[in-house]
Homo-oligomer: A and B are copies of this chain.
Amino acid sequence: MEIKHAVPDYPILSLLAERWSPYGFKERRVSDSDLRSLFEAARWAASSYNEQPWNYLVATKEYPLEFERLLSCLVEGNQAWAKTAPVLVLGVVNLRFAKNNQDNRAAVHDLGLAAGNLVVEATTRGLSVHQMIGILPEKVRETFKIPEHHEAWTAMAIGYKADPDDLPEALKQRDQTPRQRKPLEKFVFTGKWGHSATLLKTVDS
């Protein structure tokens, strides 16, 4: 098993265990048909009142000026590695309901749900996604004319992950560190905050 695969405590779909966020990408192009299916997967996520508050700005390396423009909206630390990805995407969320202009408390959450679907679809296609919160929302607003009550929230680098041996030493280490997670006992509770859920303790069921 690859070093970065999850080692789950309980069985989960291999698609979910295999996924991780690489810092290095191959030059290999991502096909437009694959990208369409990634966004189609996002499209069918659940959202509060079916608002679908997610929007995406996409740039591929086939259009270098577009790519540079989008890359410049990431914080420098992210630009340093994300520039190797063949596709960059900004996630822009509508913070209000279109129908009544009221605040949508679920909006940012639902952007995450849509991203979850996109990432699952990417994994089935052999693609990897590295999501980022380190972007420059006001630069995105100016650069891409984002309307009011909408805000750029995330970015995604999408492509085929590189072989760690082909990466510079710093990135190689990042892409070879085993993945770590808190155990379920630390965040699945019953009855009161901090009380590990009973269902974690049953032997069988």
Contacts and interface: CB of A to CB of B under 8 A. Distances in A.
Interface string A50-77: 1010111111100100100100000000
A161 interface: no
A127 interface: no
B191 A109 contact: no
**A interface, by DSSP: helix, strand, loop or mixed?**
mixed
Assembly stoichiometry (copies):
2
Interface of A: 6, 8-13, 15-17, 19-21, 31-33, 35-37, 39-41, 43-46, 48, 50, 52, 54-60, 63, 66, 69, 92, 105-106, 108-113, 115-117, 119-121, 124, 131, 133, 144-147, 150, 153-154, 179-182, 184, 187-194, 197-200, 202, 204-205
B199 A119 contact: no
15 contacts: A13-B124, A36-B199, A43-B181, A52-B187, A54-B187, A56-B187, A58-B189, A59-B190, A105-B153, A108-B108, A109-B109, A109-B111, A109-B154, A144-B193, A145-B192
